[in-house]
Structure 1
Amino acid sequence: MVDPAMKMEKVYATTSSTIVPLLMRPKETRKFPNKAFDNFRSNAQQGVGPTVFVGTNGRKYNDKAAASNIANTHLVRILKGRHLQMLAIGGSIGTGLFVSSGAALAIGGPGSLLIAYLLMGGMLFCTVQALGEMAVTFPVAGSFSTFATRFIDPAWGFATGWNYAIQCLVIMPVEIIAAAITLEYWSTSIPTWASITIFLVAVIFISLCGIKTFGEAEYAFSILKVTAIIGFIILGAVINCTGTPETGYIGGMYWRNPGAFNYGFKGFCNILVTAAFSFAGTELVALAAAETYNPSKSLPTAIKQVFWRIVLFYILSIAIIGLLVPYDSPSLISASNASTNKASPFIIAIQSAGITGLDSVMNVVILFAVLSVANSCVFGSSRLLASLAAQGQAPRPLAYIDRKGRPLVAIAIASAFGLLAYLYVSPAGNSAFTWLLALSGLSSLFTWGTICYSHIRFRKAWAQQGHSIDSLIYKSPVGTIGSWIGLIMIVLVLIAQFWVAVDPIGNVHTEINTKISSFFEAYLAMPVVLIFYAGYKLWYRTRWMKIEDIDLRTGRNEVDAGMLYRGSRGWQRKEMEMEEWPRWKRIYKLLC
């Protein structure tokens, strides 16, 4: 007699479903004979998605089936190296840098702002290098969520995936609103609901056109943002040296008066999360690995570009802002000011120099930047939802992928969340969005911490199962030490955020109800993630993956494996070529 568990295991290991939906019937029995619908249909040999991931007891999670399905999704690999490189350099530069940095400057001062961005930049560099190593080795759908499921615990992978998906789903309508507000810089005659509709339709259209259109759109957006930031850095240096009509030579004037720091150490702790929010989205480059034509070549190059993004576009621009805009400027965003693009420190710096017209140019850049982030949010949320469904951690229809490689159901869900942008025109809209944003306030920190810890366990399993570190296609230059540094820094940031959430700045005469509300606005993401984790763990009774049981085979990138081991002829030839390189080329290859 056949063991039922073995029978179920065979079903789980199958990467195609036995269910054939209506749209995959023979042409003569279809309801929609028009060929215009063909692109929205799934390949008949692919099925509609993965099989159900429960055992004979109805609750047992099947990690082998999940790994098999996630390694064999039907996303199309057409993104090129240039798409990934620009996505890594400027893909998620948006309101976090262009607008929210103004609020951080007002709270902490230029000194705290620069230190916070330096620390977060260092942490993120370590994190992205770890993510790059795993993503090149396993270029599978879901990326960091899949790694958490495979290397840590399926319950934590479930919590991480949904945490990130919710973050993207919530931020998308916020960015649409930011784009609508951007238009008010020039004129308020356009109804807000009309501009929201236009931008929402544009973002949804790009998403429905497929991954190639997304890649080209982000490529163009990133070039625009990168060009604008480089131009601003050069202009800012000139303004600082030549001065403005009102102040003359500036130099370090604003670091002396009103000063480099505001609210002391608490002000510094307060802006750490703001700095982290500015870097959010950098991990998208690894999420795109599952749709990249040659991840072995393209992804390492893109991961190295993150160094330039951190140093050039964040650290230098923040340093210039701190030199040109005092933290007590009435135009900056503060607790009593509205959040508008007029309060962007980039625009304030240009206006203070008396340069007419250039502020409008920068505002156009901000407009495209926020639309780019909204576009990335649809991409990120739809891919995470589809990968969660492929692993049995989300409703099964979300795993549907059509012939053009689009997760249509997941895109539809992400697009539907964009309708929340219309809450902005309602009387209670601000309150609703405050709580929605609270769900995503710490999401990036949880994601980055998960990446670091996944890398630590991956390296341990890789060594224990007899693999050489030199056999990795791409190695993190900071190794597991960098992952430990990143993880410890994230824990410290969470502790600092807890402190300022319990005792925020200006909390002397605040009522208890306001204190409680402020705390949950700042820290709501923590209990939500823990509830996701505990609920899934109690239901499926999952355990932390044992190091010796971690699956290092399914979905692994096996390209040119023989070239990767030290001592092999291919490696020796490569080392001989590298020895002949001039020093500048060695440095260039290390960073680029």
Structure 2
Amino acid sequence: MGCTPESFKRRTDADALNQLNHSLKKRHLHMIAIGGSIGAGLFVGSGSALSRGGPASLLLDFAIIGIMMFNVVYALGELAAMYPVSGGFYTYATRFIDPSWGFAMGWNYVAQWAIVLPLELTVAGLTVDYWEVDISVGVWITVFLVAIILINVFGVLGYGEEEFWTSMLKLCAIVIFMIIALVCVLGGGPSDGKFDEYWGARLWYDPGAFANGFKGFCSVFVTAAFAFAGTELVGLAAAESENPVKSLPGAVKQVFWRITLFYILALTFVGLMVPHTDDRLLGANPLIDVNASPFVLAAKDAGLIGFDSFMNVVILFSVLSIGNSGVYGGSRTLTALAEQGYAPKIFAYIDRAGRPLPSTILIIAFGCLGYVNLSADGPTVFDWLLALSGLSALFTWGSICLSHIRFRRAWAYNGRSLDDIPFHALFGVWGSWIGLLLVLLVLIAQFYTAVWPLGGGVNDAEGFFKSYLALPVVIGFWVAGFLWKRTGWLRTHQMDIDSGRREVNWAAIHETRKRHASWPIWRRFLSHLF
């Protein structure tokens, strides 16, 4: 069965009847973009990454993933401003690449967030254990799961408000951490503490900037990808915003600040204050061991009473925020899959308040997987769940870049001008090519460490799939989509570039572009960037 403009028209008619609540405001989108994905990957996972690769590998790998994400989000911003439809990037893969690949990306994204939710709930429970509270982790998982349920009772507005205030807390905490870290590195710490004299970059010399050589460098990529997962949610949220053409471009530009200030700069200070040989960074599963958080360790070593507990509270709210984002992202994508016939029709139901209840309930139900960590075999099960979610985001990001490349090709094929696109990716189609190339390089680097892991030798089958499980899962979804719908790679003339476009105020856009054209080159560049 081929993919024709008529089939996309039917899909768009379904979108017109879609009753998702369009109540997300500009401030919500901005905070989702700048702080929405800051969670366990940055605060906790960076500890295992630091121990494997050293401070230099930590910075380089996060910077490379940051460059990739910069281009991915701009490509997504251009597509989402043009087509703010339910399902976001999954719909773009269906429209511009291959419906079977869109099926794979949609279900891969649902699976990713369904697994991330119990992982984040477990991290939240272990975060409380930092204070040595004599209460089972299972009790805390229940408490936090109920909190997420209550937030989702208020639908997308509840998600938007929670993300706004939680992101504010995360960003303020990171700024406070960086200010205190700067004072400590310069020797302004307490007189009886570790940083009572000029500290500088001594840890880059002893024990060294790199650890485990090239393998250590390659092994950090999966943690960096995990830390940036969720950045694409700003495009998914566009379908439920008041005016995506007006609010989305500004939100996309905030990604620059998050990458430079709240990832690169914060991790620079972490590498200056915590040695990669610190035994406290190591553990059986560093990604879900709060004692491995280098932010908490740096705060404790600073010698300021209560600073480590403050950072631990921030981590607690951060992982709950990512858990809530998982419910949002997974449920909206599952609803879009059902609307297009790629999931049971019951998941297409949206109540009068604009909440996709069946989809939300299913994703929340996956939170109960957090309890498996309480059993003797729980950590083994959880290792496999973590393997499933670790690389999933990379396939999503590569799909976004390829969708943008093929959209631009179809746009030119139909004789359309770039002036008819309301928001342009900063580096155009070349930025998407760079993003796609970096995705492929990271997948190759992760394959290298999956076959030849740290410590030498060749990995066994179990070790390999724990590192690379996402690839066979995505291929399986792709094959399932092909067998179900019998669709193939779309030709340029088959791509639908008109359905689903929301009306925009072209007079205001042309006036803004005219004003920007009168500015000097340096001011235009800064305007595009910031």
TM range (shorter): over 0.9
Match in the other structure for 1:330: 279
What pairs up with 1:478-489 in 2 under 5 angstroms?
A: 478-489=427-438
Partners of 2:110 and 2:443 in 1: CA distance: 20
Structure 1 residue 336: Cα displacement: 7.7
User: Is residue 44–residue 286 contact of structure 2 (8 Å, CA) maintained in 1?
Assistant: no
Partners of 2:297 and 2:61 in 1: CA distance: 21
What pairs up with 1:264-279 in 2 under 5 angstroms?
A: 264-279=213-228
1:522-544 deviations in Å (ceiling 9; x for gaps): 11110111111012213321021
**2:417 matches 1:468:** yes
What pairs up with 1:394-473 in 2 under 5 angstroms?
A: 394-473=343-422
Mark the structure with the bigger radius of gyration: 1
Letter in 1 for 2:488: R
Structure 1 residue 356: Cα displacement: 1.2
Structure 1 residue 561: Cα displacement: 3.5
Letter in 1 for 2:343: A
State the Cα RMSD in Å.
2.0
Q: 1:181 aligns with which of 126, 135, 141?
A: 126
Match in the other structure for 2:529: 591
Partners of 2:478 and 2:521 in 1: CA distance: 49
Q: 1:337/1:73 Cα in 2 relative to 1: closer, same or farther (>3 Å)?
A: closer
Letter in 1 for 2:277: D
Q: 1:575/1:132 Cα in 2 relative to 1: closer, same or farther (>3 Å)?
A: closer
What pairs up with 1:5-44 in 2 under 5 angstroms?
A: none
Match in the other structure for 1:241: 186
Match in the other structure for 1:221: 166
User: Is residue 333–residue 339 contact of structure 1 (8 Å, CA) maintained in 2?
Assistant: no
Match in the other structure for 2:50: 105
Partners of 1:174 and 1:532 in 2: CA distance: 22
Letter in 1 for 2:310: V
Partners of 2:400 and 2:521 in 1: CA distance: 33
Aligned-partner SS, 1:401? coil
Q: Percent identity?
A: 50
Letter in 1 for 2:229: A
Q: Structure 1 stretch 436-445 or stretch 218-227: which is displaced more?
A: 436-445
What pairs up with 1:274-353 in 2 under 5 angstroms?
A: 274-334=223-283, 339-353=288-302
**2:324 matches 1:371:** no
Aligned-partner SS, 2:279? coil
Partners of 1:166 and 1:430 in 2: CA distance: 19
Aligned-partner SS, 1:242? coil
Structure 1 residue 208: Cα displacement: 2.0
Match in the other structure for 1:29: none
Match in the other structure for 1:528: 473
Letter in 1 for 2:41: G
**2:204 matches 1:255:** yes
Partners of 1:335 and 1:238 in 2: CA distance: 33
Q: 1:574/1:529 Cα in 2 relative to 1: closer, same or farther (>3 Å)?
A: closer
TM-score w.r.t. the length of structure 1 is 0.85
Partners of 2:472 and 2:114 in 1: CA distance: 18
What pairs up with 1:67-78 in 2 under 5 angstroms?
A: 67-78=12-23
Partners of 2:48 and 2:67 in 1: CA distance: 22
Structure 1 residue 242: Cα displacement: 1.1
Structure 1 residue 340: Cα displacement: 2.3
Structure 1 residue 443: Cα displacement: 0.4
Q: 1:193/1:463 Cα in 2 relative to 1: closer, same or farther (>3 Å)?
A: same
Aligned-partner SS, 2:211? coil
* Number of aligned positions between the proteins: 524
Structure 1 residue 334: Cα displacement: 4.6
Partners of 1:443 and 1:235 in 2: CA distance: 35
Letter in 2 for 1:237: L
**2:92 matches 1:147:** yes
Q: 1:338/1:303 Cα in 2 relative to 1: closer, same or farther (>3 Å)?
A: closer
Q: Which runs of 5+ in 1 are unaligned?
A: 14-61, 565-570
Letter in 2 for 1:142: G
Letter in 2 for 1:404: A
What pairs up with 1:520-559 in 2 under 5 angstroms?
A: 520-559=465-504
**2:71 matches 1:126:** yes
Structure 1 residue 591: Cα displacement: 3.1
Q: 2:426 aligns with which of 473, 477, 484?
A: 477
Structure 1 residue 506: Cα displacement: 1.1
Partners of 1:103 and 1:71 in 2: CA distance: 46
Match in the other structure for 1:17: none
Partners of 1:563 and 1:344 in 2: CA distance: 47
Q: Which runs of 5+ in 2 are unaligned?
A: none
Partners of 2:287 and 2:488 in 1: CA distance: 47
What pairs up with 1:84-103 in 2 under 5 angstroms?
A: 84-103=29-48
Partners of 1:224 and 1:474 in 2: CA distance: 30
Partners of 1:203 and 1:541 in 2: CA distance: 38
Structure 1 residue 341: Cα displacement: 1.8
Structure 1 residue 352: Cα displacement: 1.2
User: Is residue 105–residue 395 contact of structure 2 (8 Å, CA) maintained in 1?
Assistant: yes
1:445-472 deviations in Å (ceiling 9; x for gaps): 0000000000000000011111101111
